[in-house]
Amino acid sequence: MKSYHLDHLDYLETEAIHIMREVASEFERPAILFSGGKDSICLLRLAEKSFRPSDIPMPFLNVATGHEFPELLEFRDRRAKELGAKLIVRTVDEALEKGIAVQAPGQISRNQLQIPVLLAAIEEYRFDACIGGARRDEEKARAKERFFSFRDSFGQWDPKNQRPEIWNLYNGRLNPDENMRVFPLSNWTEMDVWEYIKRENLEVPSIYFSHKRRCVRRSGQWVPNTDLMPAKPNEEVKEMIVRVRTIGDIISTGCVESPATTVDDIIAEIAAARVTERGSRADDKVSEAAMEDRKKAGYF
Amino acid sequence: MTASNHPIDLLRFNTCGSVDDGKSTLIGRLLYDSKSLMEDQIEALERSADITGGGQINLANLTDGLRAEREQGITIDVAYRYFATPRRKFIIADTPGHVQYTRNMVTGASTANLSIILIDARQGVIEQSRRHAIIASLLRIPHLVVAINKMDLVDWSHERFLEIQDQFEEFLPRLDIKDVKFIPVSALNGDNIVTASPHTPWYPGPTLLGHLETVHIASDWNLTNFRFPVQWVNRPNNPTDHSLHDFRGLSGQISGGVVKVGQKVMVLPSGFTSTVKQIWTINGPLEEAFSPQSVTLVLEHDLDISRGDVIVDASDLPGASNELQAKICWMAPRPLTEGRQFLLKHTTQTVKAVVTAIEDRINISTFDKETEVSELAMNDLGEVRIKTAKPLIYDGYATNRLTGSFILIEPGTNATVAAGMLLPPTEVARPEYKDFAI
């Protein structure tokens, strides 16, 4: 007798495909949030598996801060083109100009500023569901997130009033102006993502692999030294062999010293890692409740 | 965390317990002792220990993620945690035991292979413990672990352990749980969680983690009766590629059984029959596929099939009816009364439904069924009769978790107000068009 048994990646994959097809069936104007990062790369692969040989029946949306790694933007555009998908890009710069987003005095990171831009894009295109690559293992507030995360007409998340999700039955019903964020990778860990990238032989932006970069030491981590926020005279600058583990704004993304040049190297590195991936993101360190606050305000 | 070159199992379990049972501490301990925590998480723990804990690391802080919870000192929602050992990957659904949050417990338990019930050794079996056991039984979780916690506070008394085991076993015969394991632990100190305790020479083992790593997961998935609720019709309509022009695939997740190329199938409710021509995937066609794989089926005949239809083995038909009996867990603040209308979501279709009768309510203290019931309040479990606008194609929940379950949605608020488990069908599906044969 044959063994009809799914290993953990197969299980996570079928769960995610089921969710993506539910979104395609139950929503009128869904979109996939695609940044070019490793999690959204997996989302696109899952979209192919869900909908081929048909076209992927939803556009890709990217909210760009304007502070991205150039490698990421090149990859994002190319990948969308390869898949024959429509890519919609809305930028923080544009939103600042139009007054949709307003910078706080002295605020340099644009992470917060993505929120009004995302909400404006949802309104502009009347998206009723946005599929994102967030995982529950990333962060404590994420651990309580549903697959179908309901947002009110202000785009807000209310952790105390979430819909129970039972078996594989997802309730996607909305009233006008309400919105759903959907996270098919909820049950994936950082390791699962890389194992899937390996198994599916997926291309990832080059900055995930080790490369030479001038970095500056800031609040306990090495970040790229850029013209956006050049090193001050008292800050230590060094040329290093680094890679990024998670991608945010170029000014706040921590670079880790690493010799990893292949996906296998990265998997080995994660297996031995002693800090979580978000440990290299300065935006989460502001306060212990940083992510919770951003999510309530309408963050991804 | 472990890199593996070979497939590993995934075990999903949930923890249940009352507010002070030390559930969050237990999970914190599992993560901490299995070395699944990272330096920055430990750092954050230590930081909060300095501020609030008088220097003592509070393992519960690892899971009590939301600020509201930290302030109130209780867990208010289902939180999911992930860890791995070289033997297995684990998904924990950490569900609150607080009485008004039973709906979260049902949520966390609905996808679990195993359930851990925590009992405070000083208190023994309380109403919460019974409620959780009933829910685990109703949801047919195959394995149960009763972790008797805070054993250090009863001087590691073997007698006390046996006493609680007896209390629990007293009502066990009335439940549908075959596999129960009792383990004496102290989550706070780590006894019998990952490493064996020196205080329990009378307990032969295994530790909690040892049990989680080795328990034989009887397949949760029905591999006997082929069921395929159509989720999405896959029509490329590609004008340039002729091979795709006529492609008509039926995409979905197999909710039961195995499907093979050449198999004779029936589409319900219409009753059209056909054979499976191809099992399409992006990696190439498959000869066969099984539950819970997500695939795209191509049939020999171009039939009118849409979302909500169910493709089944032509010689093994499910039930079909618009009059249903089900056990439900009521999850909304406003009680359920007879005659109320809802939307019922079952597999891939949503239909109008009315609750025509409330048959009984389970008294969770005595396990007795109370008849003469006029309403079900939030967190009540009971049996109801439901009439739907369209027949459901279904199996009993005991046979198939996916084709035997549903949710009720309240029109207007769109809230999910009930989880339902269907009793076995009394009528087998009959094709709508009897004379139709290909």
Structural domains of chain B sorted by starting position, each given as residue range(s) with its CATH number in brackets: 9-214 (3.40.50.300), 227-313 (2.40.30.10), 319-422 (2.40.30.10)
Residues 347-366 of B with CB under 8 A from A: 348
ipTM of the complex: 0.90
Each residue's pLDDT tens digit, B381-418: 999 999 999 999 999 999 999 999 999 999 999 999 99
Give residue B2's pLDDT band: very low, low, confident or very high (50, 70, 90). Answer: very low
Residue-level pLDDT at A2: 62
Answer CATH for A8-189+289-297 from 3.40.1260.10, 2.60.40.290, 1.20.1600.10, 3.40.50.620: 3.40.50.620
Please tell me the distance from the alpha carbon of residue B214 to that of residue B196, in angstroms, as a whole number.
Answer: 16
Higher pLDDT, A47 or A108: A47
Residues 72-111 of A with CB under 8 A from B: none
Sort out which chain B residues have CB atoms less than 8 A from A187's CB and list them. Answer: 80, 82, 91
Residue-level pLDDT at A289: 56
Each residue's pLDDT tens digit, B32-49: 877 776 666 666 666 665
- Identify the CA nearest to A194 among candidates A241, A243, A149, A145: A243
Please tell me the distance from the alpha carbon of residue A291 to that of residue B399, in angstroms, as a whole number.
Answer: 42
Sort out which chain A residues have CB atoms less than 8 A from B76's CB and list them. Answer: 159-160
Please tell me the distance from the alpha carbon of residue B253 to that of residue A17, in angstroms, as a whole number.
Answer: 8
Residue of B27, B40, B220, B278 to mutate when probing chain A, most A C-beta within 10 A: B40
Residues 3-62 of A with CB under 8 A from B: 4-15, 17-18, 21-22, 24-25, 48-55
pLDDT of residue B256 exceeding 90, the answer is: yes
With beta carbons less than 8 A apart as the criterion, state whether B328 and B418 touch.
yes
Which of A9, A164, A267 is the closest to B3 by Cβ? A267
The nearest CA of chain B is from the CA of A79 a distance in Å of: 18
Give residue B285's pLDDT band: very low, low, confident or very high (50, 70, 90). Answer: very high
Which of A18, A165, A187 is the closest to B294 by Cβ? A18
Residue-level pLDDT at B86: 83
Sort out which chain A residues have CB atoms less than 8 A from B247's CB and list them. Answer: 53
Higher pLDDT, B299 or B41: B299
Token pair in block for residue B134:
């009933």
Mean pLDDT of all residues in B196-203: 97
Residue-level pLDDT at B8: 80
Residues 219-278 of A with CB under 8 A from B: 267-268, 270-271, 273-276
With beta carbons less than 8 A apart as the criterion, state whether A130 and A179 touch.
yes
- The answer to whether residue B415 neighbours chain A at the CB level (below 8 Å) is yes
- The mean predicted confidence, pLDDT, of chain A is 89
Mean pLDDT of all residues in A248-261: 90
Mean pLDDT of all residues in B157-177: 93
Residues 6+ away with beta carbon under 8 Å from A97: none
Sort out which chain A residues have CB atoms less than 8 A from B78's CB and list them. Answer: 144
pLDDT of residue A176 exceeding 70, the answer is: yes
With beta carbons less than 8 A apart as the criterion, state whether B95 and B105 touch.
yes
- The answer to whether residue B218 neighbours chain A at the CB level (below 8 Å) is no
Residue-level pLDDT at A164: 87
Please give the residue of chain B at the shortest CA–CA distance from A296. Answer: B66
Please tell me the distance from the alpha carbon of residue B405 to that of residue B397, in angstroms, as a whole number.
Answer: 6
Higher pLDDT, B241 or B201: B201
pLDDT of residue B166 exceeding 60, the answer is: yes
Residue-level pLDDT at B39: 65
Each residue's pLDDT tens digit, A36-73: 999 999 999 999 999 999 999 999 999 999 999 999 99
8-state DSSP, B186: B
pLDDT of residue A84 exceeding 60, the answer is: yes
Please tell me the distance from the alpha carbon of residue B79 to that of residue B93, in angstroms, as a whole number.
Answer: 6
Nearest-5° angle of CA B345, CA B350, CA B356?
70
Residue-level pLDDT at B1: 36
The nearest CA of chain B is from the CA of A141 a distance in Å of: 6
Please judge whether A49 and B76 are an interchain contact, meaning their C-beta atoms are less than 8 angstroms apart: no
pTM here is 0.91
Sort out which chain A residues have CB atoms less than 8 A from B237's CB and list them. Answer: 54
Higher pLDDT, B68 or A55: A55
Higher pLDDT, B128 or A267: A267
pLDDT of residue B74 exceeding 50, the answer is: no
Please judge whether A144 and B232 are an interchain contact, meaning their C-beta atoms are less than 8 angstroms apart: no
Provide the angle, in degrees to the nearest 10, between the axes of the packed helices A190-199 and A8-26.
90
Residue-level pLDDT at B84: 87
Cα end-to-end span (Å), chain B: 54
Give residue B433's pLDDT band: very low, low, confident or very high (50, 70, 90). Answer: low
Q: Where are the domains of chain A?
A: 8-189+289-297, 206-284
8-state DSSP, B368: P
Mean pLDDT of all residues in A158-183: 90
- The mean predicted confidence, pLDDT, of chain B is 87
Sort out which chain A residues have CB atoms less than 8 A from B217's CB and list them. Answer: none
From residue B74, alpha-carbon distances to B21, B60, B68, B232 in Å are 11, 10, 9, 41
Least confident segment among A69-83, B35-49, B200-214: B35-49
Higher pLDDT, A132 or A285: A132
The rounded Cα B247 to chain-centroid distance in angstroms is 36
Please give the residue of chain A at the shortest CA–CA distance from B106. Answer: A166
- The answer to whether residue A141 neighbours chain B at the CB level (below 8 Å) is yes
Please give the residue of chain B at the shortest CA–CA distance from A280. Answer: B40
Residue-level pLDDT at B154: 97
Residue of B245, B253, B328 to mutate when probing chain A, most A C-beta within 10 A: B253
Residue-level pLDDT at B71: 56
Please tell me the distance from the alpha carbon of residue B267 to that of residue B301, in angstroms, as a whole number.
Answer: 11
Mean pLDDT of all residues in A120-134: 96
Q: What is the DSSP string of B281-320?
A: -TT--BSEEETT-EEEEEESS-----TT-EEEETTS--EE
- Identify the CA nearest to B24 among candidates B87, B89, B85, B72: B72
pLDDT of residue B201 exceeding 80, the answer is: yes
Residue-level pLDDT at A291: 62
The nearest CA of chain A is from the CA of B282 a distance in Å of: 6
Residue-level pLDDT at A163: 87
Please tell me the distance from the alpha carbon of residue B162 to that of residue B153, in angstroms, as a whole number.
Answer: 16
Least confident segment among A151-155, A214-218, B96-100, B289-293: B96-100
Please judge whether B84 and A7 are an interchain contact, meaning their C-beta atoms are less than 8 angstroms apart: no
pLDDT above 70 covers what percent of chain A? 90
Residue-level pLDDT at B438: 44
The nearest CA of chain A is from the CA of B52 a distance in Å of: 13
Q: How many CB pairs under 8 A join A and B?
A: 180
